């Protein structure tokens, strides 16, 4: 404003969010110190002053607030009396801009300051009939523009009305007893699209935080819900959204946000489940092209908790002192056609996801754990890789064919290790011994001049939800056992033979490759680290990541080339695609995928595999941190790296749960040293783990 504004002036000013009434209490250079009706002491500038209403007590805060509140109430009453439509119809023929004072005079025959300010507020709030100009001038709009703005205003008012109703429902539901909320929420979500969309927006924000593309909208919903329901939740905004979902009964306190963030859906569509049930109940008859391998003694070797058994093994001696090895991979294509509803769902999922609370399968369980799984004493379709070794364990012949198998025994890794350590003899123990011998020799030959083998322990996490809080069992798994090495090595043999077959016959397939490290795995720096887990990690960190390709190539870690992924067609869609290619070539049918098809499948499925991997890692971390939050005793750890030159911050490997984490050191412990650490803070929901050396 051009007029000088003095101390004691009552003004309306724009604070950036809204127009507010205030009394000027002081001038500070070019700024005005003001006291608002709410008692806020603020600063503004003359340029932000939108209207002046006379004078008030600048030196008595209580009197000033009282006067401002009474004045504001009078202005609001005047604003409510304004009928802009009638005013527009009256002055609409005159297109010249009019001041707020003139319009107040026309409407009320009154140009007092409270009436004029009431008119200004009405014009600002509802700009359908008059277009705002500078200096509180307003121009009547033409009829077409008014009609268009009326429709827009009505739409906005309907949106506001729906939003108010959604907020009211949140308030009503949060006001119910805790045990009644979930039923109320389910009912609201089924009958109110607006409520359901708001809930989904808040859930996505809880999982993704500020990475969510509608984060601002979610935050506004959250603020409005908390204000409407008079509820407050702690922590950052995404944590508040999570707590709201818990309060509504939609999520439990340990709900897996990683699964939500990465789109891991446990629920199969009803049509897919129905198709799986129908298929599971149908009797399977071996096709004529399959070779009968039911006369071979065959076993599966896996963890006791595994239900989707997709590989089995056979081995028998030859009359000339050699060996015949048969690796059988279950054949889901015997049941699921390309492009079928089941196939499309499997491709969309891309992979089975293994989480601490259970498996989210790629195929419905009636298929993945029953019809397709290589269960004992059941006829099953397979694709078999047969390898003939001479007595020196040199490969003499190989063949790949579609087969029919029957598994004789299901074995766990522990059972196999016990068999290999005992002297008991039966046909199963004999078979296990032969498999171990062949696997050991294959491993020795493969890694003699190439490859890189690292012995890093793994973990198994099981969560029992029947207790409160849930019981968390973290088991460290020694991966360097004969049983696990046996299975791993023979799967490598199988996948290498399949890769060679695809390369030799120019079959488009999916290969795994790995470039050589940029630095040697053994040099002076590596050898300066004590042998053990720290040195192993130092070498692993020098490895380049594996790559997926449609072209065969060298795989440094395995020490081979032409390595195709095909050994888990129940669990990985890319393995199923590769197996379909091989099977079609074996039975002289057209290949189901060309090179472009393979690339398209790979691009889509790889995203899902990456998402599943991230969800699995985040889920495991959550439960490990939850497990560590209950640890009161010191834990053993190995220093595997330093984060600063002073040695005060280090990466350590917790041997109790085979987990890497950061740790604050009390002494400058060198890499490789075993130390004791305590948990200072462990908050799985905030993803915080703080360790300190004892």
Domains of the chain (ranges, CATH numbers): 1-64 (2.30.30), 145-252 (no CATH), 270-620 (no CATH), 629-693 (2.40.50.140)
- Environment class of 153 (CB within 10 Å of its CB; exposed 0-12, middle 13-18, buried 19+): middle
CA atoms within 13 A on the CB side of 342: 24
| Helix%, strand%, coil% for the chain, nearest 5 | 40, 25, 35
* DSSP 8-state symbol, 516: P
Under 8 Å CB-to-CB from 583, ≥6 apart: which residues? 331, 333, 383, 402
Looking only at the bridges linking them, the beta strands covering 299-302 and 409-412 are parallel
Look at residue 678 and give its three-state secondary structure.
Answer: strand
Under 8 Å CB-to-CB from 280, ≥6 apart: which residues? 366, 367, 370, 371
Look at residue 490 and give its three-state secondary structure.
Answer: helix
Give the Å distances, CA to CA, from 198 to 39, 102, 204, 218, 225.
35, 45, 10, 8, 10
Gyration radius of the chain over CA positions: 36
Say if CB 559 and CB 446 are below 8 A apart: yes
Beta bridge partners of 650: 642, 663
Look at residue 682 and give its three-state secondary structure.
Answer: strand
Beta bridge partners of 98: 138
Q: Pick from 687, 667, 617, 673: which is nearest to 641 by CA?
A: 673
Residue 272 preceded by cis peptide, ω within 30? no
Distance, CA of 546 to CA of 147 (rounded, Å): 63
Q: How far is CA 519 from the centre of its chain?
A: 33
Position 2 scores a pLDDT of 47
Residue written as tokens 């129908």?
Answer: 278
Question: Residue ranges of the chain with pLDDT lower than 70?
Answer: 1-3, 93-94
Q: Pick from 460, 248, 236: which is nearest to 359 by CA?
A: 460
Position 1 scores a pLDDT of 41
What region does 230 belong to: left with phi over 0, alpha with psi -120 to 50, or beta?
left
Element spanning 181, H or E: helix 178-191
Q: Pick from 116, 130, 47, 51: which is nearest to 88 by CA?
A: 130
**Could you tell me the sign of the dihedral formed by the alpha carbons of 210, 211, 213, 214, in that order?**
negative
Say if CB 175 and CB 228 are below 8 A apart: no
Say if CB 174 and CB 231 are below 8 A apart: yes
Beta bridge partners of 403: 291, 382
Position 94 scores a pLDDT of 60
How many beta carbons lie within 10 A of that of residue 451, not counting itself? 15
Say if CB 568 and CB 309 are below 8 A apart: no
Beta bridge partners of 692: 664, 678
Position 667 scores a pLDDT of 84
| Both structure tokens of 346 | 């499997």
Position 30 scores a pLDDT of 87
Q: Pick from 423, 457, 426, 453: which is nearest to 440 by CA?
A: 453
pTM of the model: 0.81
DSSP string, 384-450: EEEEEE-TT--EEEEEEEEEEEEB-EEEEHHHHHHHHHS---SHHHHHHHHHHHHHHHHHHHHHSSS
- Environment class of 518 (CB within 10 Å of its CB; exposed 0-12, middle 13-18, buried 19+): exposed
């Amino acid at each position: 404003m051009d007029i000088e504004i003095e101390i004691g002036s009552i003004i309306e000013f724009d604070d950036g969010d809204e127009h507010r009434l205030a009394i000027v209490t002081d001038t500070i250079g070019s700024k005005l110190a003001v006291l608002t009706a709410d008692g806020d002491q603020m600063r503004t500038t003359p340029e932000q002053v939108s209207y002046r209403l006379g004078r008030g007590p600048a030196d008595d805060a209580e009197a000033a607030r009282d006067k401002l509140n009474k004045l504001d109430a009078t202005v609001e009453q005047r604003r409510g009396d304004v009928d802009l439509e009638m005013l527009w119809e009256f002055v609409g023929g005159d297109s010249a801009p009019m001041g707020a004072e003139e319009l107040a005079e026309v409407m009320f025959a009154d140009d007092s300051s409270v009436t004029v300010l009431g008119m200004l507020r009405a014009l600002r709030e509802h700009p359908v009939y008059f277009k705002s100009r500078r200096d509180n001038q307003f121009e009547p709009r033409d009829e077409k523009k008014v009609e268009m703005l009326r429709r827009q205003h009505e739409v906005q008012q309907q949106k506001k009305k729906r939003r108010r109703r959604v907020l009211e429902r949140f308030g009503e539901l949060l006001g119910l007893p805790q045990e009644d909320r979930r039923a109320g929420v389910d009912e609201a979500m089924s009958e109110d699209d607006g409520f359901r969309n708001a809930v989904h927006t808040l859930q996505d924000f809880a999982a993704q935080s500020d990475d969510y593309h509608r984060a601002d909208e979610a935050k506004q919903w959250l603020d409005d819900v908390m204000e409407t329901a008079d509820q407050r939740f702690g922590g950052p905004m995404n944590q508040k959204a999570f707590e709201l979902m818990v309060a509504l009964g939609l999520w439990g306190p340990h709900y897996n946000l990683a699964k939500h963030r990465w789109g891991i859906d446990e629920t199969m569509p009803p049509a897919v489940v129905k198709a799986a049930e129908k298929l599971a109940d149908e009797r399977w008859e071996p096709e004529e092209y399959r070779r009968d391998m039911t006369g071979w003694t065959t076993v599966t070797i896996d963890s006791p908790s595994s239900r989707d058994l997709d590989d089995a093994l056979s081995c028998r001696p030859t009359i000339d002192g050699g060996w015949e090895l048969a690796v059988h991979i279950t054949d889901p294509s015997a049941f699921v056609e390309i492009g079928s509803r089941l196939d499309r769902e499997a491709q969309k999922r891309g992979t089975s996801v293994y989480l601490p609370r259970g498996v989210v399968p790629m195929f419905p369980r009636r298929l993945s754990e029953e019809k397709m799984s290589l269960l004992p004493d059941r006829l099953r379709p397979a694709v078999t890789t047969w390898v003939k070794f001479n007595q020196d364990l040199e490969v003499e012949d190989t063949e790949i064919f579609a087969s029919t198998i029957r598994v004789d025994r299901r074995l766990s890794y522990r059972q196999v290790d016990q068999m290999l350590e005992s002297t008991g003899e039966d046909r199963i123990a004999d078979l296990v011994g032969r498999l171990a011998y062949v696997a050991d020799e294959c491993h020795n030959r493969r890694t003699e001049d190439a490859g890189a083998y690292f012995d890093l322990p793994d973990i198994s996490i099981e969560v029992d939800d029947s207790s409160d809080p849930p019981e968390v069992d973290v088991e460290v798994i020694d991966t360097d056992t004969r049983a696990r090495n046996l299975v791993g090595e023979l799967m490598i043999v199988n996948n290498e033979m399949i890769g060679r077959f695809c390369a030799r016959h120019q079959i488009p397939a999916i290969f795994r490759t790995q470039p050589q490290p940029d630095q040697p795995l053994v040099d002076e720096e590596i050898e300066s680290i004590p042998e053990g887990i720290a040195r192993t990690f130092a070498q692993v960190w020098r490895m380049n990541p594996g790559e997926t390709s449609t072209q065969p190539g060298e795989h440094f870690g395995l020490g081979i080339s032409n390595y195709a992924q095909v050994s888990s067609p129940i669990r990985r869609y890319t393995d199923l695609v590769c197996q379909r290619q091989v099977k079609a070539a074996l039975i002289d049918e057209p290949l189901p995928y060309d090179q472009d098809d393979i690339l398209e499948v790979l691009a889509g499925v790889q995203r899902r595999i990456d998402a599943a991997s991230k969800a699995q890692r985040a889920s495991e971390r959550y439960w490990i941190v939850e497990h560590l939050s209950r640890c009161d005793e010191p834990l053993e750890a190995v220093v595997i790296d330093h984060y600063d030159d002073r040695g005060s911050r280090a990466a350590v490997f917790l041997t109790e749960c085979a987990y890497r984490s950061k740790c604050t050191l009390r002494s400058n412990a060198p890499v490789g040293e075993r130390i004791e650490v305590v948990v200072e803070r462990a908050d799985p929901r905030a993803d915080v783990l703080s360790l300190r050396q004892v």
